[in-house]
Amino acid sequence: MKKFINNPERVVDEMLEGMVAAHPEYIRKLEGFNVLARKNAPVIGKVALVSGGGSGHEPAHGGYVGKGMLDAAVCGNVFTSPTPDPILEAIKAVNGGAGVLLIVKNYTGDVMNFEMARDIAEMEGINVDYVIVNDDVAVENSTYTAGRRGIAGTVFVHKIAGAKAETGAGIKEIKATALKVISNVRSMGMALSPCIIPAAGKPNFTLLESEMEIGMGIHGEPGTHREKIRTADELAAQLMDKILEDMSLHAGDEVAVMINGLAATPLMELYIINRRVHDILKQNEIKIYKTFVGEFMTSLEMAGCSVSILKLDDELKLLLDAEADTPAFKVI
């Protein structure tokens, strides 16, 4: 296992120390908990947004704490949902009296732990609500399963709900906006290589030099199936097919695009993917309002990418364009 680490058991703690050291103008760490909170939290009168989940997805979620996005990020162990305790602590630390909205990615563990924390917080008299992001079209949605996963599309929820909260909107309105983003965003990913959980010390699966894993999540879990590797254009088309199949997009609709690198994939390759994604959208007469290319929701050192498409309306465009100032996501 070749990593810049000291102790596999302490990677999250040490990472958070390094993050706080790097960005003291944005974030602080709650004493005794792996929670990054906005430096100036609680913002009195503003609804606070809390997200988080397992670590290993950096810059998600700590990198999105700041003006116009999150008020706190709860950082679990690598790929493991945080327990209710730090979530509760985060809720208490950022509640400015107007309530707290939790943004949770749809994984059994995340949902259960955030729900438990919400239950306790409500018993303590804090107004807490939550939304569950499930943008990953790789996984069949069904009430008989755990449902779709939340992946990179979550960052759009952070950005847009965060901008909404900044306008002084109430928790109900912000939740409605967040739910609108969730119902309008679809993502799909794939990987060229696995990743190594530091405490495990070896990869969860292996791929041949000629293979790729389609429908890859962001936890090193296998995807929906394996295929022979193909060209960037074919791959982009494959991901887009699955996304467009699941979205009701019509000629003239406007979208935001996110090409997300899982970590090891160079920006060069993400731009090559983006090129084809744009072509496909243009062929479908979809207007591209804004594009984000980079690493937004990673999976340790995995090579791979995901594409997210968010259908926009006037409200979402306005909120997407609103100023955001966080360590990892800035809109001027």
Ligand X SMILES: Nc1ncnc2c1ncn2[C@@H]1O[C@H](COP(=O)(O)OP(=O)(O)O)[C@@H](O)[C@H]1O
Query: Cα separation of 272 and 108, whole Å?
Result: 34
Angle at 105 between CA 245 and CA 233, to 5 degrees: 40
Q: Which of residues 81-120 bind other proteins (CB under 8 A)?
A: 81-85, 107-109, 112-113, 116
Q: Using CB distances below 5 to 8 A depending on partner kind, what does residue 119 bind out of other proteins, ligand X, its own copies, none? A: none
Q: Which of 140, 245, 285, 313 binds other proteins (CB under 8 A)?
A: 140
Which amino acids are annotated catalytic? 57, 219
Element (H, E) at 54: strand 48-55
**What are the start-end ranges of the H helices in the chain?**
11-22, 84-94, 108-123, 154-166, 171-184, 232-245, 267-283, 314-321
139 is an interface residue for other proteins by CB under 8 A: yes
From the CB of 268, what's the least distance to its own copies, in Å? Answer: 5
Element (H, E) at 310: strand 304-312
224 is an interface residue for other proteins by CB under 8 A: yes
What is the SS3 assignment for 331?
strand
- Copy the structure tokens of residue 79: 């790929």
Q: Which of residues 69-98 bind ligand X (CB under 6 A)?
A: 80-81
Q: Which of residues 261-300 bind its own copies (CB under 8 A)?
A: 263-275, 278, 288, 291-295, 298, 300
233 is an interface residue for its own copies by CB under 8 A: yes
- 33 or 292, CB closer to its own copies? 292
Closest alpha carbon to 85 in 120, 127, 111: 120
From the CB of 199, what's the least distance to ligand X, in Å? Answer: 12
User: Which residues, at least 6 apart from 207, have a Cβ–Cβ distance to it below 8 Å?
Assistant: 191, 192, 193, 194, 213, 226
Interface residue list for Mg ion (CB under 5 A):
79-80
The most distant pair of C-alpha atoms in the chain lies apart, rounded to whole Å, by 56
184 is an interface residue for ligand X by CB under 6 A: no
CB 322 within 8 A of CB 331: yes
- Copy the structure tokens of residue 193: 């290589």
Shortest-Cβ-distance residue relative to ligand X: 109
- 123 or 268, CB closer to ligand X? 268
Q: Using CB distances below 5 to 8 A depending on partner kind, what does residue 83 bind out of ligand X, Mg ion, other proteins, none? A: other proteins
231 is an interface residue for ligand X by CB under 6 A: no
Q: Which of 8, 20, 29, 109 binds ligand X (CB under 6 A)?
A: 109
CA distances from 96 to 159, 190, 221, 235, 247 (A): 19, 40, 38, 45, 37
From the CB of 221, what's the least distance to ligand X, in Å? Answer: 9
Query: Cα separation of 153 and 158, whole Å?
Result: 9
Query: Cα separation of 182 and 131, whole Å?
Result: 9
CB 228 within 8 A of CB 236: no
Interface with its own copies by CB under 8 A: which range of 55-63, 103-111, 130-138, 168-176?
Answer: 55-63
Binding site for other proteins (CB under 8 A): 54, 76-85, 107-109, 112-113, 116, 138-140, 144-146, 149, 197, 199-200, 204-205, 215, 217, 219-225
Binding site for its own copies (CB under 8 A): 2-6, 11, 14-19, 21-23, 55-56, 58-59, 63, 192-193, 209, 212, 229, 231-233, 235, 257, 259, 263-275, 278, 288, 291-295, 298, 300-301, 303, 305, 323, 325, 328, 330, 332
Binding site for ligand X (CB under 6 A): 80-81, 108-109
